[in-house]
Each structure stands twice: as structure tokens, then as C-alpha cells.
A and B are shown apart, each in its own frame.
Chain A
Amino acid sequence: MKTMKTTIGRGSLRRSLFFCVGFITLTLVAVACTKEKSEEENTLNLVISSNVKGLDPIDVSDVYSSRVTSQIFEGLLSYHYLKRPLEIIPQLAASMPTVSADGLVHTFKLKKGVKFQDDPCFPEGKGREITSNDFVYSWRRLADPRNRSEGFWVFDGHIKGLNEWRTAVGEGKADYSTPIEGLQTPDSETLIIKLTHPYFQLHYVLAMVVTAVVPKEAVEKYDKEILNHPVGTGPFRLESWVRNNKIVLVKNPSWTGQTYPTEGEPDDRAQGLLEDAGKPLPFADKVVMTELVEDQPRWLNFLKGNFDYAGIPKDNFDQAISGGALSEELKQKGMRLHVAQYPDLTYVAFNMEDPVLGKNKTLRKALSMATNTQISIEKFYNNRAIPAHSPVPPGIDGYDKDFVNPYQKYDLVKAKELMKEAGFPEGKGLPEFTFETTNSATARQVAEYFKQEMAALGVQIRIGVNTWPEFTTKVKEKRAQIWGIAWNADYPDSQNFYQLLYGKNVSPGPNGSNYVNKEFDELYEKALRLPMGQERTAIYKKMRAIVVEEAPWIFGVHRLGYVPSFHWLKNFKPHPIINDDVKYYRVDTKEKAKLKAKL
């Protein structure tokens, strides 16, 4: 009897089990049949590998926010899209400014008829024409200490009266109506900038999005929410933004007048980059920018054709690249490869205030010669980098491709000799050093490798793992001993890299190494007063010689970007500096439909 009851019970429970499994399976199958929403045809689908913080130009301090903000806002100047070496061109300025003989006064005439995007902040929601006062207002915002802009360094100490105004505002003794001597607007189309000293990087910083024009009406209406309500003059305006997910931009109907460039590098025509020469911009009606921080979904979505181009994650490099070229698999999918040189530098810095490291350049040279950059390039960059022999990367004025830094060469025997010469044969008598790094997996691997290299020399290294804030604080407070870091160019001028070694920029300034050399500083100051040209280049060469001989850094690499894109994306040419290049991109919708069907 008992057995029978149990059997009946088990049968009943079995039915329940089948019911549960069946229900779940049916639900999943039903959902799986739901398709993704399709995007409109003339849409650019781009991916951003980090989360965008905000869309206020003065707040933009990361490349990801800059990527979005640069499509919405414009400044006085920009860069030519195709030409290399890089060339500054007018954007909201009618032409390049007239500059006084002493280089201290720059007069800009504004392009006529440029309007802000339509927005409820304007009467009847219609954007008004920009004036020179809008630039002065925008730059006051940049200088206003209450706004905490990271970008103020672009004007810091350069414009007459601006720093004084900043201090006075901080003390509550001035406001936006207080005149600034160095920013004058004789009429609505003229803007005069008076400098405290010749500042030959001024035109470069005026092409940076932090100096873009914003309307006072928008700032007053949206106040602290301005970072979510961008109102610029650019080719696209914000349609929607789901934070940490997706930004949708649509063509700004009031943006007119700019056409696709008619000239570029010699190879550009053959590459099809001049097929749209002279055609009105922008080409896309809509731009969808998806924020995806993880490599795998970014890469898989790209392979499915959901993004028009994407960088190659480290772990997928072998799938994408074969023998230095695009793999057959990706070629079959309708992709092509773009290789771009990034204007950047990685280096290992020594704290020159350290009693041992800072006082012994032979020791620093020995450490430099014990690091094998070529192995690092293979291990950590998939060969996507070239060794750095000086602070200046390729593509930047002052770079010399033929220059060879003798201490960049890996030579353990010579390094050991130098150790002996430095007074520490086989590392004897040398204290343990701490190599500070951040907590990312790659950063730790790099640190471990450095430790191994130094061990071969007899130098003991302890690895200090930090969060990014801890790391920057240690460097800024001069508490770090040795650390690895990278610098990306803000503009294509050697000064942007040599400032990292300028004596007046020691911590908490950008000279984290706290390197001070009188001769170097004098040359740096001399170069600051000179325009680009042979004389300045000669000075940079002398500065380079000093840095190489003093070895405050172990030079690392200049990175290369390997970027595959689909054939349907036309006019795509990675630009080393600007971010406002989306207006040049065009989607060949027919080709896209054809290729996507195969993916």
C-alpha cells in the first residue's frame, strides 16, 4: 500500500516537474523570437569604451565625453581632417586670426550667420546668432573657480587680466560683468585676445572643446543641469541620452556652410578619402553612440555589424590581425584596417627628489638599459607600438625618427657595468625601491615584468598597487618613487611633452618626476617665446639631449592604433587629435545592407 502511494505521488510530482521545465522553455523561446529594433539607414553606429560623464565643454576632461561633446559644440579653430602634418583651420572664426608683430594680440573675426542650436532656452525655442561676447562668456566660465574646470590650464597665466579676474571671483570681489583686459569685443563679430607673453600654443588650445562657445541663456536656464542639456553650434544636437548606455545625436538643421575637404595627403585619393570632396557636411542624419566598457560585447557587436568601426581588444588581436594585416576572416566580413600613430608616450618616471634615484644618473641609465622595450611591445601591446627614444611622439613638431637614445637599448651587460660605475655592483648597497602602479590587471602585469627585469640587474622592487586616486595623490604629493605612466598629446607641439619636465611644473603640477635642470628650463622658456620653425626645433633638440643624458625617465613606447572598419563606412581616417570628425563620416547604405546580410 505504502509503495503504491509513493508511486502515485512521484508520478504527480514528475508531472509538475515537466510542467515547470516546459513553461520556462516556452517563455525563453518566445522571448528569443523577439528581434532587436532596427536602426534607421543613414545612421552612424559608433561605440565608446567608457561611460560619458557629462556634456558641458568646460567639464570635458576625458576622451569619451570629448567624443560626444565635440559633435555638439564648436570653437574658433579646428584641425584639417585629412592633412598631415596636422594643420589648424578656422571653424567659427571666419579666417585665421591676425597676430600682432610681437605675438601678443590675436584678433579674430567670427563667421557670419552661425547660430546656436534651437533650444527652449531661447525665445520661441529658436537659436540665435553667436557673437564675440559669447566667447568671452564661455571663457569666463572656464576660468570661474566655482566651476572647477580641469581645462583652465589652457589659459592659465596667458591672457591679460584673466587670472586676476579668476582670483577676484573666488574671493567674491568680481563677477561676469567685470572687464578683463585681455578679452575684448569691439563689435559682435570681433574678438581680441591680449596675451601676457607670446603663447604659440594658443591656436591649438582654441581648437580644444574646452574653449568651445556656449550660450549664456542655456547656462542660466539649466544651471547645474547644463551638463545634460548641451546647446552648441555643432553639426549634431543631442536627441536622447540614457546615461551609461546610449547617446543619440541628430543632424542640427541650422548648421550649414561647411563642406568636405578637397585636399589631403598624397595617398588619400587612392584610399577613396576624397570622393566626397566639396560636398556639404554632415553626411549622417543620426549618430548612435553606445557606451560599452567591456571588450567582448564591443567586439562581438562590431563583428555583427552593429558598430561601424571598433578598436581591437588585446585578447582578440590574433583573430583580427594576421602577419601585420587584417585577417582573412575579417576581410571576408567586409572590413578594412586603419593603422594610426597615437601622439602619446609611455614612460617609467623616477622621483628626482628621491635621495638615491634622484642623485645618481648613472644608476637611472643602468635601470633604463635593463628594460627590454621590444619584449614589452610584444607582451603588452601585441606589437602595436614603437619604442620611444625621446619625449616627443611621431606626428608632433620636433619628433625625429632617426634619433636613437643610447639608453633605450636593452643591454644587460652594459647595464651591469653602469651599476658598478654608479656604486652599486650587482645591486649591492641599493635599497629596495617601490614601483607604484594602478590596480588594473594589465598595469599589474607590466609592474611584475618591470620587477623581473630589475631583478636581473640585482635591483629589488616592491610593487605598490593603488587605486587611481591613491596613485595620483602619491605622485602629486611626491610620495612615489618609481611609477609607470602615459601622456597623450593635447595638441601637436613638443612643448606639450617637454612641459612634463619643466622645473616650474613640479608636483603637484604635471612634472611628476620633479625634475629640475636650470639649462633645460631656460631652453624651455626660450622655446615658448618662439613660433614653430627651425630655431625652435633646434632648441627642442638641445632639450632632448639633456633629458636623454639625465635620464629622469625610462622611455617606453609610442602606441599605434589598429582600427578595423566596415567598407560601408566612408571617409574614415583616424585623426590623432580632434574628436569632431564624425561629421565627415558617411554610411553607404546599400553596401551596408549587402554586407550586413552576410554577417
Chain B
Amino acid sequence: MPILFGITLLTFTLFNVAGGDPAVQFAGKNASAVQIEQIRHELGLDRPLYQQYFFYLKQIVSLDFGRSWSSRQQISTLIVDGVGASLSVSVPPFFISVALCIVLAMFSAFFRGRLFDRSIMVGCLGLMSISYLVYIMVFQYLLGYKMGLFPISGWDASWVDRWPYLILPWICIVVVSLGANVLLYRAVFMEEIFQDYVRTAKAKGLNTRIIYLKHILKNAMIPIITVVVIQMPYLYTGSLLVENFFGIPGIGGLLVQALANADFPVIKAMVFIGSVLYMVFSLLSDLLYALVDPRVQLK
């Protein structure tokens, strides 16, 4: 609770200190001083700051963030509509990427020093040194436009019909995440491989597959879980670039648009949800430690 309270206070202060005047923004290009004042009144910006802050807290408690000042759409609708799209873009590639990175990292560690490992290392460094935007633009041009393997962009409200539009964004997300994650996970595996328990297992004649899949993987999962779970709260916001380039109606752009338009109700809602998710997933990561390693005790 104190963390949440601090976040609300910080958000509210930042909005009121920095950024433009929303009343000016929403009054339009031809507005007179009187009209701007009327809008300030309609938005409640002429009330004392403490009243505005308590109104914000009331919205959080009631989970009703009202309407966007900019589009006038119901914020809950904007978020509910967008979250489905964002999650369908971000969740599958996230898990594909985690699985793929673990497999590649483990193989790389296993074949350490060999051609496969070196190729993976060089490939990952190469992948890391190219901008996200370049992947999107090149894949969209080559796979979508030139080769016609996937739609260039698009979306369908139906869960059944939308997936052809998702594959290309998924490929982009997976490829982008490979470089850094494989290298990180490989480092984790390399650390485990030289532990005493691995040497003991080998000495006892245990099958290599069992050593890797049952022992090394399990022990390597703690740092990996930390990285993975901490990334999870961001899944709900999707990816601004991917959503914009592929015409996916997620909420990746919602916060950016809200910041660009001084749309405080949307900013408040997004920051609050993001903070709660971050805390929930941090807790989840602690719980998962205990699941993976029974030595970790929850108190």
C-alpha cells in the first residue's frame, strides 16, 4: 500500500508540475480565454489540488477511471479492448522466446567452445547490435511485401481469424529477444555446469541428458525466472513499435498517446495498473523460487 500511495502521489505531482495545460490542449485552436476557463472547469482542473488528488484516489478505489479527456472513450473499454490485442501479440512470442532461448543457451553451453557455440555467440551479438525498428521494417518488407508469406499488416477482431496477422509480429519479437537472452541464459548455464554437484553426477555415471535437464536446468531456473517474471508486467502494454507497424489495436500506444495529449485520466489508469502488475509479478517470482528450489522458504 505505501508503495502504491507513493506512486499515485508521484504521478499526480509530475502531471501537475510538468507537461502542458490540458484545458488549453482540449479547447482547440480557436478557443478564447473564456472557453479555456470553461473547459478547465469541466475537467475539474479549477479545483484545489488536494481535491483533485482525492478524486484520483477515489477512482483507484472504485476502479473507475472515467473517460479519456482526449478521445472521450471510456478508459476501462480502451484498456479491455486493447489488452486482448496486446497480449495476443506479446504473450505467445514471449513464451516461445523464453523456451527457445533456454534451449539454445543450454545447447550452446553444452557445446561450449565448439563451432555451434561460437556461431550462437556471434549470431546473438549480431542480433543485439541491430535496432528493433530495423527488424520490423526489414521483415515486413521481405516476408510480408516481397515474398508475400504473411500479411504486411492487419488485424481481425475474431480470435480465429486474427492469427495470420500475428505471425510476422511474433517473429520480430522472438528474433529481437534472442540475442540478449540467449547470452544471458548461456552465462547462467555455464556457471552451473562447473558446479560440484554436476561433477559428482557425472562421476556417478548419470546420463548427460538427465544431468542437464533435471539438475542443471532446475538450478539455472532461479536467475532465469527472475529475469522472465520481471519482464511479464510489461506484456500487458504490448509493444508500441510492433503494434503501430502491424496495425494491431493494442494498448502499446495508449500511454504514449496519453502522454502526448496530456490525457491525465488515461495516464493515471495506466500507471496504476502497471504498478500493481509489477508488484504482483515480483511476488509471483518469489513464489516461483520456492517452487523451483524447495530450499527457498517463504516466511
- CB within 8 Å of B: which residues of A? 2, 5-6, 8-10, 12-13, 16-17, 20, 24, 28, 31-32, 34-37, 51, 53-54, 56, 59, 61, 145-146, 148, 150-153, 156, 170, 224-225, 227-228, 240, 242-246, 290-294, 296-297, 300-301, 303-304, 306, 466-474, 476-477, 508-510
Task: Flag if A509 contacts B31 (CB, 8 Å).
Answer: yes
Task: Flag if A227 contacts B72 (CB, 8 Å).
Answer: yes
Closest to B71 in A: A53
B55 at the interface (CB under 8 A from A): no
Task: Flag if B28 contacts A53 (CB, 8 Å).
Answer: no
In the bound assembly, the distance between CA atoms of A529 and B244 in angstroms comes to 48
Q: Nearest 7 pairs between A and B by C-beta?
A: A9-B208, A469-B20, A150-B28, A473-B20, A153-B30, A469-B262, A244-B249
Closest to A473 in B: B20
Task: Flag if B73 contacts A243 (CB, 8 Å).
Answer: yes
From known contacts A148-B39, A300-B145, A301-B152, infer whether A510 and B78 are also in contact, taking CB-CB under 8 Å: no
Restricting to B92-148, which residues have a CB under 8 Å from any CB of A?
Answer: 96, 100, 103, 107, 110-111, 137, 140-141, 144-145
Task: Flag if A54 contacts B72 (CB, 8 Å).
Answer: yes
Which residue, of B73, B250, B259, has the highest number of chain A Cβ atoms within 10 A? B73
The residue from A37, A246, A293, A467 contacting B244, defined by CB atoms under 8 A apart: A293
CB-CB under 8 A from A59, the residues of chain B are 72
A20 to chain B, nearest CB (A): 6
Interface string of B259-298 (1 = CB under 8 A from A): 1111000000000000000000000000000000000000
From known contacts A243-B78, A246-B155, infer whether A12 and B249 are also in contact, taking CB-CB under 8 Å: no
B245 at the interface (CB under 8 A from A): yes
In the bound assembly, the distance between CA atoms of A228 and B72 in angstroms comes to 10
CB-CB under 8 A from A472, the residues of chain B are 20, 24-25
CB-CB under 8 A from A12, the residues of chain B are 208-209
B35 at the interface (CB under 8 A from A): yes
Q: Is the interface of A mostly helix, strand, loop or mixed?
A: helix
Q: How many residues of B contact A (CB 8 A)?
A: 74
The residue from A245, A301, A466, A473 contacting B24, defined by CB atoms under 8 A apart: A473
Task: Flag if B157 contacts A17 (CB, 8 Å).
Answer: no
The residue from A10, A306, A508 contacting B32, defined by CB atoms under 8 A apart: A508
From known contacts A148-B26, A300-B144, infer whether A469 and B244 are also in contact, taking CB-CB under 8 Å: no
CB-CB under 8 A from A510, the residues of chain B are 29-30
Closest to B167 in A: A31
Task: Flag if B141 contacts A227 (CB, 8 Å).
Answer: no
B87 to chain A, nearest CB (A): 15
The residue from A9, A51, A145, A148 contacting B257, defined by CB atoms under 8 A apart: A51
In the bound assembly, the distance between CA atoms of A479 and B238 in angstroms comes to 37
With A227-B72, A468-B20, A468-B260 already in contact, 7 other A-B pairs whose C-beta atoms are closer than 8 Å: A28-B171, A150-B29, A152-B35, A156-B30, A242-B155, A244-B250, A473-B21
In the bound assembly, the distance between CA atoms of A16 and B217 in angstroms comes to 15
B246 at the interface (CB under 8 A from A): yes
From known contacts A24-B100, A59-B72, A224-B67, infer whether A13 and B208 are also in contact, taking CB-CB under 8 Å: yes
B88 at the interface (CB under 8 A from A): no
In the bound assembly, the distance between CA atoms of A143 and B36 in angstroms comes to 14
Closest to A244 in B: B249
Task: Flag if B31 contacts A508 (CB, 8 Å).
Answer: yes
A480 to chain B, nearest CB (A): 12
Task: Flag if B164 contacts A300 (CB, 8 Å).
Answer: no
Q: 9 A-B contacts, Cβ less than 8 Å apart? A: A8-B207, A34-B164, A36-B154, A153-B35, A245-B155, A290-B247, A469-B22, A472-B20, A473-B25
In the bound assembly, the distance between CA atoms of A152 and B39 in angstroms comes to 12
Task: Flag if B32 contacts A509 (CB, 8 Å).
Answer: yes
In the bound assembly, the distance between CA atoms of A127 and B253 in angstroms comes to 37
From known contacts A243-B81, A467-B19, infer whether A224 and B72 are also in contact, taking CB-CB under 8 Å: yes
Task: Flag if B260 contacts A32 (CB, 8 Å).
Answer: no
The residue from B20, B78, B100, B247 contacting A470, defined by CB atoms under 8 A apart: B20
B4 at the interface (CB under 8 A from A): no
In the bound assembly, the distance between CA atoms of A222 and B96 in angstroms comes to 43
Closest to B259 in A: A467
Task: Flag if A242 contacts B24 (CB, 8 Å).
Answer: no
In the bound assembly, the distance between CA atoms of A242 and B162 in angstroms comes to 13
In the bound assembly, the distance between CA atoms of A300 and B147 in angstroms comes to 12
CB-CB under 8 A from A242, the residues of chain B are 155, 157, 249
CB-CB under 8 A from A13, the residues of chain B are 107, 110, 208-209, 212
Restricting to B163-197, which residues have a CB under 8 Å from any CB of A?
Answer: 163-164, 167, 171
In the bound assembly, the distance between CA atoms of A145 and B23 in angstroms comes to 13
Restricting to B36-83, which residues have a CB under 8 Å from any CB of A?
Answer: 36, 38-39, 41-42, 67, 70-74, 78, 81-82
In the bound assembly, the distance between CA atoms of A2 and B208 in angstroms comes to 10
B9 at the interface (CB under 8 A from A): no
CB-CB under 8 A from B3, the residues of chain A are none
CB-CB under 8 A from B96, the residues of chain A are 24
Closest to B18 in A: A470
Which residue, of A224, A469, A474, A476, has the highest number of chain B Cβ atoms within 10 A? A469
From known contacts A31-B163, A245-B248, infer whether A296 and B140 are also in contact, taking CB-CB under 8 Å: yes
CB-CB under 8 A from B167, the residues of chain A are 28, 31-32
B12 to chain A, nearest CB (A): 17
Task: Flag if B149 contacts A297 (CB, 8 Å).
Answer: no
Task: Flag if B208 contacts A53 (CB, 8 Å).
Answer: no
B157 to chain A, nearest CB (A): 5
In the bound assembly, the distance between CA atoms of A292 and B154 in angstroms comes to 9
Which residue, of A242, A290, A306, A471, has the highest number of chain B Cβ atoms within 10 A? A242
Interface string of B217-253 (1 = CB under 8 A from A): 0000000000000000000000000001111111001
